[in-house]
Amino acid sequence: MSEVISLIGLVGGLALLIVLTLRGWNLFISAPLCALIVAFSSNIPVFTGDINFVQNYMAGFTGFIASWFFMFLLGSIFGKFMEDTGAADSVAAWITGLLGKQRAVLAVVAACAVLTYGGVSLFVVAFAVYPMALSLFKEANLPRRFIPAALAFGSVTFTMTSAGSPEIQNWIPIEYLGTTPYAAWEVSLVVAVFMAVFGYWWLQRIINSAVKRGEHFQERSSDPQLVDRELPHPATGLLPLLVVLGLSFIYHDTLMQNALIIALLGGVISLMIINWRFFTNLQAALGNATTGALIAIGNTAAVVGFGGVARVTPAFDLAVAAVTSLPGNELVGAAIAVSAIAGLTGSASGGQVIALPAVGPHYLDLGVNPEQLHRVVAISSGALDSLPHNGYVVTTIRGICNESHKDAYWAVGAVTVVVPLMGLSLAILLFNLF
């Protein structure tokens, strides 16, 4: 009976968190409140004992900040410097002239895809590309509420989980399955192309429908005001991005996540050197960047804290045991297990790390091809993880783009949940046919 109540509390707390997030509640209030409901339903004490609400919530909260603070800070500074110097506007104008205003969305998606596949962290990509995306959407007069969807689609779908990607979601299975980052690359290539083409078509269709209803770009007082001033050459905005990409690629294998600190620091310094005379207010840019980084990482850490409490409940263990022992097709079972856990934790990597110790040996003993299992696990981790409470989704929509979930999430969900699920289905179909 206690396990049933715990399960009701876990599902109810998660559902309430999603609803409150969509309604725009402050995550510093809603996330711990929902985590407290989960704790009460599982008889987890608030303060006392080896496992308690405060300890586990704050372990998740502070652990995320400890791991990501410098990346968030430097990424935010890089983005603000791109804004303040006019480099973002210059690159946007150059791309618009090259591709035409009707290709603004493609430019944003492509920029995110290149940086993501080059090894730059998903969070950092959003910080770096947002200023350019804002300028492109303004230039094309597109509704700004779709910027998060364009950023997310280029970062967490066809690049994040495809063969060869240096993102952690493609590397975690290696430890458990003995594979390589290029596991099942043939099927992965087909799936990646499908997700890229179909997802872009669908996103463009969603945006075009909004434009036909009369939506357009709406400026805000907080937007960078760079009217009637000399802009730097577009290359001065592209070169720092290449510095970030190059340094991340060079140091990724040796320093892993810490390579991003070097890469972003290099990008910030190169941007300052190249565009020093174009700064309008360096101190204000640093102040705004710091505030933005703190808000973004705080919102995300609040949600991660919820996951820290959820993981120590009896219901969570029950759910993991249930989804990792599903009968039927092994690849389907693995996909369901990883997707479900990623959805519960709001984390693609979290879903893999929790599921693989049980799923990996079990299915390998049954004779499942490890390369096929690797690719299915990777792709499935990037689907239900993008529910409204996901840390990346919260950061991108609220912390970076300053949009509401109500306005921005549905397009994000379409291209980061539905499209990857379709890609996952295609991958399983191809593996079973050939």
Start-to-end CA distance of the chain, whole Å, equals 46
Is the dihedral angle over the CA atoms 69, 75, 78, 81 positive or is it negative?
Answer: negative
In a domain, 223, yes or no: no
pLDDT band at 268 (very low <50, low <70, confident <90, very high): very high
pLDDT band at 228 (very low <50, low <70, confident <90, very high): low
Tell me which of 192-201, 242-251, 332-341, 407-416 is least confident: 242-251
For 273, half-sphere exposure in the C-beta direction (CA atoms, 13 angstrom radius) is: 9
In a domain, 26, yes or no: yes
Query: Which of the two residues, 18 and 98, has the higher pLDDT score?
Result: 18
Each residue's pLDDT tens digit, 274-329: 999 999 889 999 998 999 889 888 888 888 888 889 888 998 888 888 877 777 78
In terms of residue numbers, what domain contains 188? 2-215+229-433
Nearest to residue 331, comparing CAs of 195, 430, 192, 189? 430
The phi, psi pair for 300, rounded to 5°, reads -65, -45
Report residue 248 as tokens. Answer: 């991340």
In a domain, 224, yes or no: no
Each residue's pLDDT tens digit, 63-86: 889 988 998 899 899 988 988 898
Give Cβ neighbours of residue 57 (< 8 Å, ≥ 6 apart). 32, 35, 305, 306, 308, 309
**Spacing of C-alpha 392 from chain mean position:** 4
- Average pLDDT on 8-17 reads 92
What's the CA gap between 179 and 72, in Å, rounded?
31
Residue 1: its pLDDT value, please? 64
Instruction: Answer for the pair 412, 149: CB distance below 8 angstroms, yes or no.
Output: yes
How many domains does one find in the chain?
1
Residue 42: its pLDDT value, please? 92
What's the CA gap between 290 and 419, in Å, rounded?
34
In a domain, 220, yes or no: no
**Spacing of C-alpha 293 from chain mean position:** 15
CA angle 6, 22, 154 (to 5 degrees): 105
Q: Which residue has the tokens 């294998």?
A: 253
Coil, strand or helix at 262: helix
Nearest to residue 129, comparing CAs of 265, 237, 21? 237
Nearest to residue 172, comparing CAs of 314, 395, 341, 56? 341
Residue 52: its pLDDT value, please? 92
* Burial of 430 from C-beta contacts in 10 A (0-12 / 13-18 / 19+): middle
Coil, strand or helix at 327: coil
pLDDT band at 388 (very low <50, low <70, confident <90, very high): very high
Instruction: Answer for the pair 324, 79: CB distance below 8 angstroms, yes or no.
Output: no
In a domain, 296, yes or no: yes
In a domain, 301, yes or no: yes
What's the CA gap between 259 and 247, in Å, rounded?
7
Q: How many CB atoms lie within 10 A of CB 385?
A: 31
Residue 225: its pLDDT value, please? 64
Each residue's pLDDT tens digit, 104-121: 999 999 988 888 887 777
Helices (H), 311-390: 314-323, 330-345, 348-365, 370-381
Instruction: Answer for the pair 331, 433: CB distance below 8 angstroms, yes or no.
Output: no
